[in-house]
Structure 1
């Protein structure tokens, strides 16, 4: 969805089944759901969409975090296809379950994607209001494990994430967790080291 002329969202109790516009699964009769009514350039006239409330809230959060919100609005499914490394760790459990088949396909294509210990690190971090994605944490771990320091290209090569590395590194820099030295090397800040030490699960 691109920028809207107007958009109104109201909660309703379903008197019949609806299909969630975000996850494409059924909203059952009697369930509280969100009805979004608005006018968008790509629709003729007024358009109405039904959502699970948590699907809509998650979708809006992801768009604020990962897109130019309002100008390049995307569904959760689109965001998963475009940027699973940033999206999957941020999905609440109930929402992730509705997208389980799509996530399973992503994991099949990328068998080493987001191993369980990484998910545990993310959950621990979120509990402390530290929202890092799986890929960002892998970068932090990788930089911290190499005291000789690495360039972004070396990190990308060693993590085998050539096409996805620049954006997460940029976000880590914005969070002041890593910095780039004058000679182009990535250096982890004390907060980044502290985060990894505190968030790593006990084995």
Structure 2
């Protein structure tokens, strides 16, 4: 009976540890919400004549033109503006995914999903998108104590094998929405 009791106590302690992990994660939801609401992504056209600032959810917060931009033909200015908007919205989506992953864990692989979708939309590779994301993000400080649970998942505590890449022909409703959003800019 004592071995069974010890096993039950061990299972209960393991359960309590997981509950504490979840509590710690959700205690930081306010921080995540603050970071998301303060998020800004800035993109400029290659000639720097158009600058767009996107906020949370890709909301366009500011559009700036230089004198040079106003000298362009309307079609060229429109194309530069649409391309720059797409880049700012894409950067905003990457930043949002990174913030959510940082606070909630990467079990959902949000950043990977965003990068895969954007690579397909922009006709590039995931590796190029990942390097672009690394250039955009300032380095994060490393955790200060071993009790920092920010690198752990809320959903699972055991490591999960890598997921296979989703088929490129299908996709989620979110993928289709992003593709449609960026395709509209091409017309």
Give the TM-score, by structure 2 length.
0.30
Larger fraction in strand = 1
Q: Tell which has more relative contact order, 1 or 2 (C-alpha 8 A, sep 6+).
A: 2
Give the TM-score, by structure 1 length.
0.28
- Greater Rg by CA: 2
Larger fraction in helix = 2
